[in-house]
Amino acid sequence: MDNLKFTLEEELNLSITFSELSRLIEDIYNAALTNNWSPILKNIIKYTHSNKAFIFLQDVNNKKPLFMKFEANFDYDYNLLTEDQFNKFYSPFDQAKKDAVEGEYFSVDDLIGLSTYRNNKSDQDFFIPFKPHHCLAGVLIRDGQYESVYAISRAASDINYDTKDLNLIKVLTPHLSRSMHIYKTLKLYNDLASISKSILDQSDKALVVCDSDANIIIANKLAYEKSDNSTVINFEGTKIYILNNVYNKMLHHYIKECCALSVVGAGIAESILMEEGKESVLITVIPLKNNNNFNFIDVPCCLVTINFQEIIDWNIINKEFGLSKKELVLLKSIFAKKKLNELTSSFGVTYNTLRTHLQAIFRKTGVNSQTELLIKLNLFKK
């Protein structure tokens, strides 16, 4: 076992040990259920030698964040964390992340110059006391309705982040993303005295809690209604399954993996997108840590979210905006939440070339960001 840990630590090339990483990931999922994000941010600050970290969730139609957690290892004026000041604080990250898809991590320094904001006299009252200089960030939620981002930073007097720091952000970002989705689903819509009640009360999406063998523990009414009529997914006895055998094996693998909170699968996005006729189904699997809210469940379990959507009419989109073949393929990939840095090999081009193609798509569709792009694409459902 010690040899396995050493091999994984060598392979991941992180600034922390395998045991520290495992505890941190477990705490990340606990934070989604307890809404106690401060210990996570403090540990990330410690492991990355940062001076601060923040995480937030926002409705894209409302500038005020639904929640924002901020931690720093220096004294600062709490009065600066007002809504107006938050918008100042967030502005650079908004510019840096506009091309990013959900689950993508990046160095803000590589994309924009933070010095532009630090040297602006109107921003000095915020940026000087909060000491941002070197910065790493990740997009946790981006679905056209909600946005969630987290970031860490160091002061100008500190050295820049190195490869090990960026690798840690790479490993943590998908876990923070799933954790934030859990929080949004289970905490945002209700007061949530109990998780089981929140699941049963959901009416806009099908939700299922199952164990590692895909046995259904809890499912809401919409899940049962949709499974009775779906050509894609169904319930067989007490199990959840996909009619397509290949996708079914994939789903059950993801369920088992999430229940185990596998570190090996840290970079995998546990989601499946299928289209059958006019039915489009996006299935997402996220881990749930058993705690007091699940006082009747004594086994590892996960949450399966099933979104039934109409299929996007790509032919109309292509005619409407005059996209090239490569631009259309890239647009479909982005809609499926593929990250630009994952598409470079399949497209055979550099990351910067893909960003140039994406900017061309923005111009042709008349949008300025990925969020606006997703909103516009939803207008072209069959």
Instruction: Look up residue 231 and give its two tokens.
Output: 């050509």
Output the average pLDDT for the chain: 76
Instruction: Look up residue 310 and give its two tokens.
Output: 């109409």
Between CA 79 and CA 71 the distance in angstroms is 14
Between CA 235 and CA 227 the distance in angstroms is 6
Q: List C-alpha distances in Å: 200 to 113, 189, 278, 308.
A: 47, 12, 27, 17
Supply the pLDDT for residue 88. 54
Question: What's the pLDDT tens digit per position in 136-189?
Answer: 888 898 877 888 889 898 887 889 898 889 889 988 998 898 888 878 876 544
Comparing 31-45, 121-135, 219-233, 336-350, the range with the smallest average pLDDT is 121-135
Taking Cα atoms as reference points, which of 222, 212, 203, 224 lies closest to residue 290?
212
Q: What is the pTM of this model?
A: 0.58
Between CA 19 and CA 27 the distance in angstroms is 12
Question: What's the pLDDT tens digit per position in 93-118?
Answer: 566 567 778 888 888 766 555 555 55
Within 10 Å of residue 87's Cβ, how many Cβ atoms? 14
Residue of higher predicted confidence among 16 and 37: 37
DSSP 311: P
Residues 6+ apart with CB under 8 A from 23: none
Supply the pLDDT for residue 41. 94
Supply the pLDDT for residue 50. 92
Within 10 Å of residue 236's Cβ, how many Cβ atoms? 12
Q: Which domains does the chain have, with CATH numbers?
A: 2-188 (3.30.450.80), 195-310 (3.30.450.20), 314-380 (1.10.10.10)
Instruction: Look up residue 366 and give its two tokens.
Output: 């008349």
Q: Is the dihedral of CA 325, 330, 332, 333 positive or negative?
A: positive
Pairing label, strands 239-242, 271-276:
unpaired
* Beta strands in the chain, from DSSP E residues, in sequence order: 52-59, 67-72, 105-107, 134-142, 146-154, 206-211, 216-219, 233-236, 239-242, 271-276, 279-288, 301-310
Within 10 Å of residue 263's Cβ, how many Cβ atoms? 14
Where residue 5 falls among pLDDT bands split at 50, 70, 90? very low
Residues 6+ apart with CB under 8 A from 181: 140, 141, 284, 286, 305
Instruction: Look up residue 307 and give its two tokens.
Output: 């979104």
Average pLDDT rounded to a whole number, residues 351-356: 87
Residue of higher predicted confidence among 277 and 139: 139
Does position 56 have pLDDT exceeding 80, yes or no? yes
Supply the pLDDT for residue 267. 35
Return the residue matching tokens 């995998």: 268
